[in-house]
Chains A and B, each alone.
Chain A
């Protein structure tokens, strides 16, 4: 009895309250999105909201179970759980249900379970166990060897999910970089990742030649700033400009006909040599990092085309739509266009509950799943969307606080896993719905219709709450 009392007292009721609020708001919106005068029964299992209500019930039971288990249980069983879930991921492409061009579901009676949703929780547990068991943790950086091993833990699930295939669920694992960063991974790795994404997008938006110029310019500037001596770099810039102009004008005047960006690449290679020489002469070793970045970036933007060709046609099209390279409101850009119209028509205060027409008339596809945020936007307006965004931010910041107050390394890392996964879903889903990101099919936690997703997020959060309730005990 005493233990129960302690548990109830130590639970973070604020987070639980926020969770319940989000789930309730989510259900109300699913109801609105599918609302149909012909089927008015709330409990009808033929409708998404009826089924979702059942899933909410199931999730609450699961939450209760998560809370009653001992905190040590999660740490001890983390690896077996990870292995079990990986096996189910392996089985799903062969035994799973086929729909929408992928095999990602297990059918159990009327319900469908999606193992990839639970793989996130399993990976979080395994990560927490792995990093917390390294003696170096908490004493500074994370040695490269461990970083690599943790990387393997992260890479296995998306590799298995690719078999289904499910692009959205794979991308979620990028979020673990944030956990590694908090655990001591050098910022440079995260930074290079971000740089790669930015360059990828820019290489579609900007002319290759212009981009080459920008990279070289940026590199020189970065180098100059990094050693805070400007004079030699002005000479450097002058020489570089001269080389580039020479190369380009040679190409033009001799009518050699090489593409401009290729000529600039050659120019840029020469620039790197000159700057490298300059750096050696002036003993500024620091110049090598910017130089390496410039060279790497140049190679990267030339290989983007090849990379891009490797993607599926519909994925290519989605990226092109996001970058406004293709305007096609009735084709691939249709989802985003409709989604923007729905949100935009909500104005400041929204059209009111059940009054939305855009989402209801099926103009927005996947309205109760990936595009549920549209319904919020249309019916509750800017106030509603702001409230939801705020609620997520509060939840995420609260979870950071929880993670930071843990004594056990396991609990802390697990806490950051929860933060990272939720943040990633929040970022990608809303970013996609409001047209900032390409259409990637991943759900908005607690809002999107989908039993597996709700159940998995509930378990993810309540494990954290259970660990937090035992934060004063010391384990592992």
Chain B
């Protein structure tokens, strides 16, 4: 068939020939001229070794190492390269496993891939590695991959530091950085700062001959990439203070949180019972983890951020501040107290009547705070508006909200909403009387020890706080203001000072009275024995430390929580302890 278009066949033919010529030229360059692609001698093959960066160190606020790294060795195998057979006896004797286990491990490796290396034996001891090194020629297809594992200079702060473990399949699927066998921070600091701590992996390509001997680096390392070590983190923890708190509370259940009010830096965060962080490192990790998880004392729980307690009387300073701010009371407003026969809320102390604010704080007078709460909520006809204003004010202290912080997964506690009460009592079915427990920090109110310590820091600062955090970063340099005026804080601070000089906290002066401090005891009712609570800051003027102490099921707050706070403050501010007997009593709890 003849067509005017038939010259076009030459264009198409020419395009085909031209493409082929282009390909042949390119192939000539790759295969004949450029010898950079040649993989050397006939039987050589390439081995890709991932260079794992060392994870960043974690230092305390004074630059002392808390978390470091130790060398560890994984024995890797590429099933395809073991085809010549390997010396099972050598393997068994060095790794102290039997032939059956060798077979099992080989099967697992083959199931993963015939061609790609997988871990045959993880985290060999250095002794194993030393012996194995000399026997490698009997083990074609095997090689040793150097890794690092976490090491702790002191067995402290396991919850805060968190731990690392191998990535799971979900993470591998969702984040391309992670490959099978990589480590990732799972909790605490290790999780929160994973991206800074982990560094960047590298890759080195070696030429290996059939005898499993490395002949050198491929292409003088042209395709290699180096590993960048992770960044070191300076955290805000004072190692000594942390360790001291853990020592004091070793037989108790509960927590201590200490914050530097001027910065929001967390100085110590104790949660007991605890565990040795070294338990979650290396081969024994999964076994130990299971043991810890089954422990009924819940040692894995970080009580400082993930346990909630009714704040009890420690809530009273906050209550006083909000009532002052909203005009429900003044410093001099008197309310009657009939001691244990008061209605609707009993007083647990004996003191004169009527009482004003400073006395009420000093004596932790329940009836006073009930009256103050009621007159604040019922100061005008719009009860619900007043309640919402009260709640917003309380929220401005970080209660009932998730505090801004770098600690992952913290709880927010609870300050009940209007909707909550509407649901329980009906929209018109509740008054101040109905929710009177809130006036003394009981009922539906709950808070974490971190929030309680933060409250102490706000009062110490006379009205504001910095987000409590565990690593020094610019991110937390902003002040957060509470809704209450500074003048009211001075009043409440005066009351809190009286607590430690004449009130419920007077028995355990800091450093024998050399340091002034302010605090508030609390006893949180709960199903078992009461929890002992205490919040405090010191010194009274220009405070350096704000603290909350919770001792679960220890009864009255003043007996156990106050002395611990006193000792912690003394330790932090002076560096030594003037009353070793008290220290001993705490350590020997009950």
Residues of A at the B interface (CB closer than 8 Å) are: 36-38, 138-140, 178, 181-184, 329-330, 337, 340-341, 343-348, 351, 355, 357-358, 360-363, 377, 381-382, 385-386, 389-390, 392-393, 396-397, 400, 403-404, 406-409, 412, 416, 419, 423, 426-427, 430-431, 434-436
Contacts and interface: CB of A to CB of B under 8 A. Distances in A.
Contacts of B5: 138, 140, 182-184
Interface residues of B, number: 47
A341 B24 CA distance: 17
A397 B13 CA distance: 6
21 contacts: A178-B12, A181-B11, A182-B5, A182-B9, A182-B12, A183-B5, A184-B5, A330-B48, A330-B203, A361-B45, A361-B78, A361-B81, A362-B114, A362-B116, A381-B31, A386-B27, A389-B20, A397-B17, A400-B12, A408-B1, A434-B26
Contacts of A351: 42
Q: Which 7 A-B pairs have the closest CB atoms?
A: A344-B37, A362-B115, A382-B31, A345-B39, A330-B203, A393-B20, A357-B45
B28 interface: yes
Contacts of B20: 389-390, 392-393
Given A181-B11, A340-B37, A434-B23, 17 more contacts: A139-B3, A182-B12, A184-B5, A340-B30, A343-B31, A344-B35, A346-B31, A347-B31, A355-B42, A357-B45, A361-B80, A362-B113, A363-B46, A389-B20, A393-B17, A397-B16, A430-B23
Contacts of A38: 83
Contacts of B223: 329, 337
Most buried by A among B12, B24, B27, B78: B27
Contact of B46 (A184, A347, A358): A358
Contacts of A377: 27, 30-31
A404 B120 CA distance: 63
Interface string B1-23: 10111101101110111011011
Interface in B167-215: 203
B135 interface: no
Contacts of A182: 5, 8-9, 12
B12 A389 contact: no
A412 B36 CA distance: 46
A435 B27 CA distance: 10
A351 B156 CA distance: 60
Given A182-B9, A382-B27, A357 B39 contact: yes
B380 interface: no
Most buried by B among A361, A362, A412: A361
A348 B31 contact: yes
B38 interface: yes
A310 B115 CA distance: 36
A140 B4 contact: yes
B396 interface: no
B27 A181 contact: no
Contact of A409 (B1, B9, B16, B24): B1
A416 to B, nearest CB: 8
Contacts of A427: 19
Contact of B9 (A184, A389, A400, A408): A400
Contact of A357 (B6, B15, B22, B44): B44
Contact of A330 (B3, B38, B80, B225): B225
